[in-house]
Structure 1
Amino acid sequence: MASEQLNADLEVSELQVNSLTNGLTANKVRLATRVDELSEPENQLLLAKQLVLTGDWQALGSSRVDISKIAVSDAQLTVSYYGTGRSNLHEFLKQMSDMKVQKVNSVPLRWQVDEWVMDNVTINLFDKGEPILSVHVDELALTDLQSMQDPDAQVKELLWPILDQVVEQVQSGNSSLQVDSMALSRFLLREAMAF
């Protein structure tokens, strides 16, 4: 049912629960959206060796879930835009915001993530099927993400730290950084003008 509400596919090879630490560990995670406008590789939102949730995840049956930390390691995050303000990440976050705890009484699920840390992650950015950015970062940290935020605001919370990393790596002369500067500039201008 969750995959239907999220319009996404989640695959996990192993799941471990630690009730002493309120930890939930998922190994070999694959999260793929089902956006019709995108090809299969562009729908691969997240591939990760490990994902660890810490917090009140046991309240999954209630209408509120508070996660103190999500730690993702050895991952690939692919954000694929197919229009202005429209991407696989936007779609996934919108579905998360619209997710209901119970279909019968349509209680919306409210969630909050205090901290989201990604270690050893490669981030890919596509725009209308064209790769415009691929960057490897040792660590990317985000704070205070919640369902009450608009998906556009949530995506901006993620994209600006990524772009800061790109600027930092360009200045340091990182040869593994792959960026189409003209396409990235056009993309940023289009997205900034839209909002």
Structure 2
Amino acid sequence: MPWAVLGIFIFFLVVSYIVLQGTRAALAWRKAAAAGDVKVIRDIAEDALNSWRSGRRPKAVAPDVWRGIQSAQLIAVAADGVRVSCQAQSEYRMLEGRWLEVRNALQEGISIAAKAAEMLLYELPNFRPQLIQLDVYTSFRQGEDLSSNLCILSLQATRDQARTVDWDEWTAEEIVDALDARYRLGERGQPLPIDVEPWPADEPQEATAQ
């Protein structure tokens, strides 16, 4: 019996030590990120994106939106923010034996951008970005040419802007408009390519090949 008690005591000591070390590491990361350490910020953002890619879809998030979230790639970081790129594709459904587009890539991209912006602003562990940039890309094909991924929506949002958003009640369109998202529509309502916003980063911008 004394050996069992000793074993339990040692077990709790080990667990407490592990928890303490984890807490210290989290505090160190939080302090470094708050001080603008871009290497730490990059690691935090990459870890978060990787966890979203491997994580289960929240019930409240549509499957197509979650696929867009999981496509997110970190493009650049700054002392106070992150820039991310993701993909959006049209949604098709089989109706009367034919595949018909029911939501175009921009409609999907708006939904993806609204959710991704919320996650980047509020769900990065140990870092609260004051600025985010989100660029949404989709595929375009001209005739027989190979398809190209071009940007159809871009937004830069500050934390002050985010505070004005009702994330629970507003539609995705209302959210991205409040965050000053840029996008263009053609005569038939189709998305058109746009120029990507320049990133006001403290470090050189990386290649953005899609």
TM-score, shorter chain, exceeding 0.5: no
Instruction: Compare the two structures and name the one with the higher strand fraction.
Output: 1
Larger radius of gyration: 2
- The structure that is helix-richer by fraction is 2
What TM-score do the two structures reach when normalised by structure 2?
0.33
Normalising by structure 1, we get a TM-score of: 0.35
